[in-house]
Chains A and B, each alone.
Chain A
Amino acid sequence: MPLWLIVLIKSAILLFIVVTSFAYAMLAERKVMGWMQLRPGPNRVGPWGLMQPAADAAKLILKEDLAPRTADPLLYRLAPFVSLLTAFSVYAIIPFDVTSAGTWSIGNVNAGVLFLLAITSLGVYGISLGGWASGSKFPLLGSVRSTAQMISYELGMGLALAGVLLVAGTTSLDGIVSAQRDLWFFIPQFVAFVVYVVTAIAETNRVPFDLVEAETELVAGFHTEYSGLRFGLFFIAEYVNMLTVSCIASLLFFGGWNAPFGWTWLPGIVWFLLKVAAFMFFYIWLRATLPRFRYDRLMAFGWKVLLPIATLNVVVTAVVIALKG
């Protein structure tokens, strides 16, 4: 088989898996949030509400696709696809397992972490273009916030990951995972792990850093004017980004497909997916618990707390490695 065909088939399978996980991540969020708020959550469509994602999808597809008269006709329609494209393309390099057959990924990139950072940073374009092209006040405020927030937290995130790269000595994702065979990096790089989790939540615009949507102040932030399928695409992109961030946390800090305590009776990919699911649960748990940050506090927290801590972590890690090596 030619290489392009293999890549195409792999991509189709992965796309299907990612979209399905998105659908059920959304259902899980509504369920778990419901339980935490003493409600049963969606339970009318199918057994235990398991068909709810299908019903939601049908609803979103059938809804009218409105565009404000003041909107930029091209960019307004393009923005959701930009968001979605960047969200999906990260999965091209995420490895799921390494077996005797090779690495389970579409493409194995040497500079995996750099590619990740580059692509996830592009995600802000979808949001800021969408907000700007809506030609309306609240979306514009939302997208301005998103740009400022994502740039501020990108720095902390990059520095947190730099600590991991120093310890692992490689930027390829499967290299980082195999470096964690004995000790998962969240122990030696605990500070980096905490900074990563906080910045990752901010990067994906989730509670308590969902200033971009902030329904109490900005109606719905950058996607106020969007409806129907285009709103759905933004929605998918947000959840796929959550999944991506969970995958990265699992790969870089929790040993990816390495089994804990030598419990190799489960295949590596199951461990990997379990770790991703645990992070997704943490996201939902935080959303059900925390209120939203104030915008100035968010900026102060990013620049005055997270960035210095991450920088300090990189310096200390580098010094320790230099002294040891």
Chain B
Amino acid sequence: MAMHKRLYNVGAILKGLSITLRFMFARKPTVQYPSVRKQHAPRFHGLHELRRYDDGKERCIGCELCSSACPANAITVIGAENAPGDRKSPGERYAARYEIDELRCIFCGMCEEACPTDAIVLTPRFEMSDFRRGSFIYAKDRLLVPADGGVGTPPDERPGGIPADLGGVAGKKSTLDVGSGYDATYNGSLLKTQRKGLTG
């Protein structure tokens, strides 16, 4: 290499050094996550929620449209006739079981769009981590807004900002009898996983 090119290299090193020095004092984009939470967009798609009507009745009428709209086959709905004395929903039918496998869910929001009664919506909650696979199957016990917990937020009125109860629902213990969700048998090198039935 010619001598003058070598000198250009020295210039390039100095330029590089000046860039790193400038970056050292630049503002860092890192969000100190557990102590500082990032603002989420109003249409952020997180954990699902089953809403209620103002009179406390469930919006879900067990029509299974969400289930058929779901591209990931994550939703299982088993509808049942409302008993005349004890109506769960204003319609003829209600969801006897409503289960979403959040590990399969791709959080696309198609269920929300398919729902004729705006019953299933996606909230901004996203802290769902757990050590047990089974705990990712969310049933009505955790999806449905509690009877004394209001009616839930309609999709178009969702605020942006910092979700107040990020882990509130996810921290709730599932009452669904799915065990760990999988039967894992560790036996030397043999590891069998078997899906436990979510059938009717």
Contact = CB atoms under 8 A, between A and B. Distances in A.
Sort chain A's interface into a size bin.
Answer: 10 to 19
Interface string A283-324: 001101110000000000000010000000000000000000
- For the residues of A in contact with B, the DSSP-based class is helix
Contact of B23 (A36, A43, A286, A290): A36
Interface string A167-205: 000000000000000000000000000000000000000
Interface in A1-52: 32, 35-40, 43
Contacts of B29: 38
B160 to A, nearest CB: 26
A285 B20 contact: yes
B28 A289 contact: no
A56 B29 CA distance: 26
A38 B17 contact: no
A289 B30 contact: no
A32 B24 CA distance: 7
Interface in B1-53: 6, 13, 16-17, 19-21, 23-26, 28-30, 32
A40 B29 CA distance: 9
Interface in B132-163: none
B23 A38 contact: yes
A39 B30 contact: yes
Contact of A38 (B21, B28, B32): B28
Contacts of B30: 38-40
A35 B16 contact: no
B28 A35 contact: yes
A289 B13 CA distance: 8
A35 B23 contact: yes
A36 B17 CA distance: 10
Contacts of B16: 289-290
Contacts of A290: 13, 16
B17 A289 contact: yes
Nearest to A37: B23
B13 A35 contact: no
Contacts of B25: 35
Interface in A28-82: 32, 35-40, 43
Nearest to B21: A285
Contacts of A32: 24
A35 B28 CA distance: 8
Contact of A285 (B17, B26, B28): B17
B82 to A, nearest CB: 53
A32 B20 CA distance: 10
A305 B7 CA distance: 12
A285 B19 CA distance: 10
B24 A35 contact: yes
Contacts of B28: 35, 38-40
Interface in A130-165: none
Nearest to A32: B24
Nearest to A305: B6
A41 to B, nearest CB: 9
Contacts of B21: 36, 285
Nearest to B30: A40
B20 A288 contact: yes
Given A289-B13, A290-B13, A38 B20 contact: no
Contacts of B19: 289
Contacts of A37: 23
Given A37-B23, A289-B16, 6 more contacts: A35-B23, A36-B24, A38-B26, A40-B28, A40-B32, A43-B32
17 contacts: A35-B23, A35-B25, A36-B23, A36-B24, A38-B29, A38-B30, A39-B28, A39-B30, A40-B30, A285-B17, A285-B21, A286-B17, A288-B20, A289-B13, A289-B17, A290-B13, A305-B6
Interface of A: 32, 35-40, 43, 285-286, 288-290, 305
Which 9 A/B pairs are nearest by Cβ-Cβ distance? A35-B24, A36-B20, A289-B16, A289-B20, A36-B24, A288-B20, A40-B30, A36-B23, A289-B17
